[in-house]
Structure 1
Amino acid sequence: MSMTVTGISSMATRQILSELASAYQQASGQAVSIESVGGVDAAKRIRAGEPFDLAVLASDALRQLEADGALVAGSIVEIAESPMAMAVRAGAIRPDPLDEAAVRAALANAASIGISTGPSGAHVVKLARDWGLENEIASRIVQAKPGIPVAKLLADGAVEVGFQQLSEMQGAPGIDIVGLLPEALQPKTIFAAAICKAAGHAEAARGFISYLASPATADTKRRHGMTPL
């Protein structure tokens, strides 16, 4: 097949999609090319009608794009849950256990807190609001630029503690992952795939999305810090 299925995704699924696109091409002969950028930028580009065949983003972002008419209605397929983790600079003191009190203390006491522009960042802000810490920590929040992982802020010494999806922190140099947030604090972020309205190869894209949701991809998802659905 000479045709290539094209897609756009947020950075959280970059490694998973790279690996699965390669495996899918080996198994089916269908080439798939995914561009991974900051989720906010991805949504803008899909809304602007760039000719991608599929999109992989947090499910709430896809539902908004569907409502805006930028996706094929009814094409959203959930593919994995992405748990959120907390990390510190390599070698820094870290709380043990990482329970709800420890997360709250980290937000209250850290000199600087790294968050993303994506759903994990919004969740940290929500937690701070729920705990009455929003005003107290507002000046200490450092938001990574779109496409830049929070782990880089930590490794560069720009922040003391950071929060993001585990999939974006695993294997990052210069940090220690403290652990997953306690179950009660997890945002339950679901990543999903959908067909773009501007797709030129919708049926071929649908085949790849079916593969992404299949049991055959479970081990890859787990290895990269996501939970198969």
Structure 2
Amino acid sequence: MKTLSLIAATSMLGLVLVMPLAADLKAAELNVIAGGSLTGLLGELGPRFEKASGHRLSIHFDSTPNIIARINAGTPFDLAVVPVDVFKDGAAKTRFIPGPTIDIARVGYGLAVRAGAAKPDVSTPAALKETLLGAASIAFVPSSAAGAYIIKVFERLGIGDVMKAKTRALTGPPQIAPAVANGDAELGVFLTNVLTAPGVELAGPFPADLQHELVFTAAVAADSREADAARSLIDYLRTSEAVATIKAAGMNPG
């Protein structure tokens, strides 16, 4: 009986110790704005964070110009994980807590072809130019931070006007791989993590002379009512588990 009583007392003591901790845990509904190229990554990491934290995420994925417009329109949100270009807009930057942003991931550019198709040479600027000129059509998202850089590359190669006629302009990064896989475009040109998808194969990255990494950075909204929960998501995106997933997605952490 004494043993049973001791066990019961110990159990009660455990409940007493745990209950205050549980009471302190308040599940939050976080409104997140994210770059469209992070759709796959956050689609994988988001549910893991929700399970571990008890918080719930509502993520709006969009292109950089649309993100800036959304933020400047006063749309409520708690944090953003977006291309660093968003913070180059002075008005948008004021919607965030002052201070440095936290870099989450970065990734370079490349070309993709339909799975099983011959992979063209893109190893040098001259080879990339020849490949682009030889393609019947290309798919990318011109109205995005990544798209703006791709257009600059076309201009550096001296083929800006020619590529306009070949472009299949899409509205979101997740549309690029299906367009190439379905034959709607011969080539997909974008961030390499977006081009790592079913139905397509990466032909190669941009040559070193033309390569550039787009940085995705995070910050908490200045007027967020869930700032602590928002910071916990940013902290999670820097954990070893998240870093491993970022690498597996073809991106570089930080």
TM-score range, shorter chain: 0.7 to 0.9
AA aligned opposite 2:178? K
Structure 1 residue aligned with 2:53:
28
1 or 2 for the larger relative contact order (CA 8 Å, sep ≥6)?
Answer: 1
SS in 2 for 1:34: strand
CA distance 1:145–1:97, shift in 2 (3 Å): closer
Shift of 1:81: 0.8
SS in 1 for 2:113: strand
Does structure 1 residue 157 correspond to structure 2 residue 183? yes
Structure 1 residue aligned with 2:17:
none
Structure 2 residue aligned with 1:45:
70
Q: How many Å separate the matches in 2 of 1:202 and 1:151?
A: 35
Q: Where do residues 1-229 of structure 1 align in structure 2 (5 Å cutoff)?
A: 1-64=26-89, 68-74=93-99, 76-96=101-121, 98-116=123-141, 117-146=143-172, 148-173=174-199, 175-229=200-254
Q: Please tell me whether Structure 1 or Structure 2 has the larger radius of gyration of its CA atoms.
A: 2
Shift of 1:30: 3.1
AA aligned opposite 1:126? K
CA distance 1:97–1:10, shift in 2 (3 Å): closer
- Could you tell me the TM-score, scaled by structure 2's length? 0.79
CA RMSD of aligned residues (A): 2.3
Calculate percent identity across the aligned residue pairs: 29
Q: How many Å separate the matches in 1 of 2:100 and 2:73?
A: 19
Q: How many Å separate the matches in 1 of 2:139 and 2:247?
A: 25
SS in 1 for 2:201: strand
Gapped regions of structure 2 (runs ≥ 5)? 1-25
SS in 1 for 2:232: helix
Q: How many Å separate the matches in 1 of 2:167 and 2:152?
A: 13
SS in 2 for 1:168: coil
Q: How many Å separate the matches in 1 of 2:59 and 2:251?
A: 18
Q: How many Å separate the matches in 2 of 1:82 and 1:65?
A: 24
Gapped regions of structure 1 (runs ≥ 5)? none
SS in 2 for 1:217: helix
SS in 2 for 1:9: strand
Shift of 1:92: 2.6
Shift of 1:167: 1.9
Q: How many Å separate the matches in 1 of 2:232 and 2:174?
A: 30
SS in 2 for 1:149: helix
Q: What is the total number of aligned residue pairs between the two structures?
A: 228
